[in-house]
Structure 1
Amino acid sequence: MYQPQIGDALELLDTPSMLVDLTLMEANIASMMQRLQARKVHVRPHLKTVKSPALARKLLAAGAIGGCVAKVSEAEVMADAGIEDLLITTEIIGQPKLARLVSLIQKHPALKVVVDSLAGAQALHQILAEARLEINVLLDLNVGQNRCGVNPGADARTLAHHIGTLSQLHLIGVQGYEGHLQHIHNPEERAQRCRQAMQILVETATQLRTDGFPIDIVTTGGTGTAEICAEVDGVTEVQPGSFIFMDTDYHHALGSSYANALTILSTVISRPTPTRAVVDAGLKSLSTDSGMPELKGQDDIAYHPGGDEHGILTSTDNATVPLEIGDRLEFIPSHIDTTINLHDYYYAHRNGILEAIWPVATRGKVQ
């Protein structure tokens, strides 16, 4: 059985395969770092996008101060690979997760976590006290997404003061993620609403400093808002992730700011009628939670899933589809994070020649 090797041409790859254009990816990284470093904020990329220590190290080499992860299981993989400065951005609740966290902190004490409730803070304190460990925590604040996060104002201050009584927890920052604003297509609306969210975040940080807490970290922002957040006085770091590869959803919101560097290579396996072609990339290869993927370079052909293994291509004007059995096509995912989670490997190429093969090391790490 053929095994892909560095130096192989892309024509040798089986399909579906996940491709990374290294020239475009490197340009995306350089562009983001240049834009944000000019604004004097730190970049802490969210590694739930790349799911790869190899790519995390590339981001660190480009100037990132550390990384974010969403789950304890992701932190285990990244920390064991030498990525020490990690922030887990999702609340850690339940004995199984807390026990895993303790084991992780014992080996990687620089780890930071977020809390948004009295119950969560108390449970974290108790298990750390039993293990004689301490940890730096950030207050997770609701800045309008209405997902996790303590409400600003009295609720946030009450929680902060409670954390202040817990000897194993050290409150050093606040996190506020405006995820509901990332994909707003109108740039003026996105900027206006983002600044409103940032006002809530930085005002809360100021209140907590007035109350005596050493709030050194104010972290926020995704790919769609990072540059806006970075212009707000008081924001110290941003958490973009998707910029490294991009997807159609972000591209429609941000335009050509970053290139679509990741595609899914697929093959036309059937041509039942002149107006329909079928490829070997279905729901197991391309996620559709943010809409349909797009065929690279052919706006007049629409994709929709035909099941787990099949994708159906039709012309947007019901005309003949100019494809033949055996044609190899590249699709741009609509949501990069969930599509990457469907694949085992990145096949990274430059000018059609493989330069690297990276495992998707945190694929399926949902705990």
Structure 2
Amino acid sequence: MEENIRKLMGLLKPMKVNIRPHLKTTKSPILAQKLVDAGATGGCVAKLSEAEVMAEAGFDDLLITCEIVGPVKLRRLVELFRNHRKIQIVVDSELGAVAVNEALSSSGIEQPIQVLIDLDVGLHRTGVAPESALALAQQITLLSHLRLIGVQGYEGHLQHVHGRETREAQCRDSMAILTTTASMLRQNGFDIQVVTTGGTGTAEFCATTPGITEVQPGSFIFMDSDYYNAVGGFFSQSLTILSTVISKSGSEHRVTIDAGLKSLPTDSGFSEPKNMPGVTYTPMGDEHGWLSWDDGPDVPLGARVEMIPSHIDPTINLHDFYYAHRKGVIEEIWPVATRGKVQ
């Protein structure tokens, strides 16, 4: 893990962009601080509830990358911002911006919250269309409790594209949308200081694009089999789920482990046993999974098997603690502090 952090900083720091890692991966203020100590500038979180936990732990230089909509969440945002003025948010609609402004203006807080326009650069999940960004920026300037500081554009649909050249070419197209829109806003008098984007699969391309000021990689710190198979082995797979062989019934070429759907998500394919070539994993319900092979050594009852997750973020959200070990010795135990914080 430490080597992955060093590699990322060594790769991106010379490119003169801020590195704001996405903490929806680690879900840990302890690891957030380790990343800042290594050279990161604050962090990102996906949800308001993640920001609440991070800020309470003393880590509040945060960009919340998902829109905050609805009266319950807006009340929580007001209380978070009341005590943590570094918080930044994104908006992608006039309605959403007005609602945030009304919540803050009725709170007695005078300082405006820093806002980025969320721009759709091809993912089509959230974000205003580029041709509508100017109108939204103009609306934000009319709102006393919002201060527009930048634009965000996440090309999430490109993170796992196989083939470096293909991934880079498609990423450059998305970056052109983002930087062109930022330049257009500046030409119309808006002080666009932050242009933030990127993930583990594209951060180096984003960082070398003129006009990009900040990147948001997250999964690099641990990696998973889906990312690893797509982008290669520059970063190591540094997190595994430790399982146990609990049954050998049914077949001489198959055993059952105690890691099923409650331990290892399957949205990006099945997890992979570490250092067990020819052995495949199949989930067999909530609590169980099969390890199967055609030829090879027998896997004994009670054997401990390390499983490499296929998708790191939802895997971490299923577990309570990290066990940080070096050369077979557990050095530290870190809580997954924002586990379940999806509000």
TM-score tier after normalising by the smaller chain length: over 0.9
Equivalent position of 2:340 in the other structure: 364
Equivalent position of 1:39 in the other structure: 15
Report the Cα offset of residue 81 of structure 1: 1.1
Q: In structure 2, which of residues 89, 104, 114 is the aligned counterpart of residue 136 of structure 1?
A: 114
**Gap change, CA 1:207 and 1:132, over 3 Å in 2:** farther
Higher relative contact order by CA 8 Å / sep ≥ 6: 1 or 2?
Answer: 1
Corresponding position: 1:245 with 2:246 = no
Equivalent position of 1:265 in the other structure: 242
Are the counterparts in 2 of residues 247 and 260 from structure 1 also a CA contact under 8 Å? yes
Equivalent position of 2:231 in the other structure: 254
3-state SS of the aligned residue for 1:131?
Answer: coil
Q: In structure 2, which of residues 173, 195, 212 is the aligned counterpart of residue 218 of structure 1?
A: 195
Corresponding position: 1:109 with 2:109 = no
Are the counterparts in 2 of residues 276 and 321 from structure 1 also a CA contact under 8 Å? no
Q: In structure 1, which of residues 81, 85, 89 is the aligned counterpart of residue 57 of structure 2?
A: 81
Report the Cα offset of residue 132 of structure 1: 3.0
Report the Cα offset of residue 298 of structure 1: 1.4
- In terms of mean alpha carbon deviation, does 298-307 or 171-180 score higher? 298-307
1:162-191 C-alpha deviation (Å, 9 max, x unpaired)? 111111101000000000000001111100
3-state SS of the aligned residue for 1:262?
Answer: coil
Equivalent position of 2:149 in the other structure: 172
Report the Cα offset of residue 269 of structure 1: 0.5
Report the Cα offset of residue 313 of structure 1: 1.0
Corresponding position: 1:275 with 2:250 = no
CA distance in 2, matches of 1:181, 1:321: 39
Report the Cα offset of residue 275 of structure 1: 1.6
Are the counterparts in 2 of residues 274 and 321 from structure 1 also a CA contact under 8 Å? no
Alignment gaps of 5+ in structure 1: 1-24
Equivalent position of 1:312 in the other structure: 290
1:249-279 C-alpha deviation (Å, 9 max, x unpaired)? 1101121110000000011011111021100
Equivalent position of 2:274 in the other structure: 296
Are the counterparts in 1 of residues 23 and 45 from structure 2 also a CA contact under 8 Å? yes
3-state SS of the aligned residue for 2:176?
Answer: helix
* Letter paired with 1:145: L
TM-score w.r.t. structure 1 length?
0.92
RMSD over aligned CA atoms reads 0.8
Are the counterparts in 2 of residues 246 and 261 from structure 1 also a CA contact under 8 Å? yes
Corresponding position: 1:145 with 2:126 = no
3-state SS of the aligned residue for 1:277?
Answer: strand
Alignment gaps of 5+ in structure 2: none
Equivalent position of 2:102 in the other structure: 126
Equivalent position of 1:94 in the other structure: 70
CA distance in 2, matches of 1:274, 1:281: 20
Equivalent position of 1:19 in the other structure: none
Identity of aligned residues (%): 59
Are the counterparts in 2 of residues 141 and 150 from structure 1 also a CA contact under 8 Å? yes
Report the Cα offset of residue 321 of structure 1: 6.2
Report the Cα offset of residue 83 of structure 1: 1.1
CA distance in 2, matches of 1:321, 1:178: 43
CA distance in 2, matches of 1:122, 1:299: 56
